[in-house]
Amino acid sequence: MIKNDYSTAADILTSSRKTIALTGAGISVESGIPPFRGKGGMWEIYDPFEFAHIDSYLRQPEKVWQVFLSELVNTLNQAKPNNGHKGLADLEAMGRLSTVVTQNVDGLHQAAGNSDVIEFHGTFAWHQCMSCQNRLETHELDLSALPPRCGCGGIFRPECVFFGEMIPPDALERSNQLAIQCDAILVVGTSASVQPAAMIPGIAKSVGAKVIEINLEETPLTHRITDVFLGGSAGEVVPRLVSELKVRG
Ligand code: NAD
Ligand code: ZN
């Protein structure tokens, strides 16, 4: 593993025929969305298993909304893509990045302009009625009484993956396939501790792909499989990597 070597990272991206990215909550921190773990993370305030587990939602949806989801709706409504998201969109426009696999549910990669985004943990942009499967965009929900209810009386749930739930099979299958096909993977702002998403870089590495990791701090991947570690915030590091590539033409 080498650290903060932008030239080597750019070499890897230049010679790669297919590059994918795996992103986590860290890339959206500079958009004002707190991550789960680490400093300022939501888990300093909330117990994840109390509020992000499907059993809790089914048992006490009102409480999960009051303590956790109402605030998440407000935060996501205000969030805009930052320079980290925009940098990944630039890489796609330059033909250097094909797909973003994201663990985030905030829709900011699509807003930044990436055209192929796999939402590994679903999305918070939509809700579905647990009784009749009617779907509604999150901004259309009536939140005057919690939990939000459908006309049929059923309770809406976000279309994101709670702890205790399966990854959408299409997302899992395609991500694994891309991991096997790619020559390089950018791993941005993820603590690499939520499975099975955290396995994607390892799958890529096992078939010979180079791993470029961008994070404020080292992760369990750093000394195990990372080839180049670029330390710093995604909003600073990704644009710097883009500039390094642009200089090469
Ligand atoms: P995580 O919260 O476990 O870890 C965040 C990682 O980002 C840490 O390694 C941290 O060092 C790093 N980081 C923090 N700020 C950064 C920055 N500015 N630039 C670069 N790196 C930075 O995140 P995770 O691994 O994605 O796992 C959390 C799970 O929670 C995800 O699976 C996701 O579904 C969900 N989540 C999503 C959002 C969102 O949609 N934005 C927000 C919080 C949690
Ligand atoms: Zn319904």
For residue 93, give the amino acid letter: A
Residue 35 alpha carbon to ligand 1 centre in Å: 4
pLDDT for residue 99: 98
Question: Edge to edge, what strands does the sheet with 210-215 contain?
Answer: 2-3, 228-231, 210-215, 184-188, 19-23, 99-102, 117-119
Asked whether the beta carbons of 44 and 33 are under 8 A apart, the reply is no
Q: Which ligand is nearest to the CA of 149?
A: 2
Statement: the pTM of the whole predicted model exceeds 0.85: yes
Residue 197 alpha carbon to ligand 2 centre in Å: 31
pLDDT for residue 39: 67
pLDDT for residue 50: 74
pLDDT for residue 42: 67
pLDDT for residue 68: 86
Q: Looking at ligand 1, which atom is closest to the CA of residue 28?
A: 41
Residue of 121, 127, 139, 223 marked catalytic = 121
- Average pLDDT per 10 consecutive residues for the chain, totaling 249 residues: 98 98 97 81 70 93 92 94 98 98 98 98 98 97 96 98 96 98 98 93 98 97 98 98 92
Buried b / exposed e over 155-165, threshold 16 CB at 10 Å, is bbbbbbbbeee
pLDDT for residue 38: 66
pLDDT for residue 67: 85
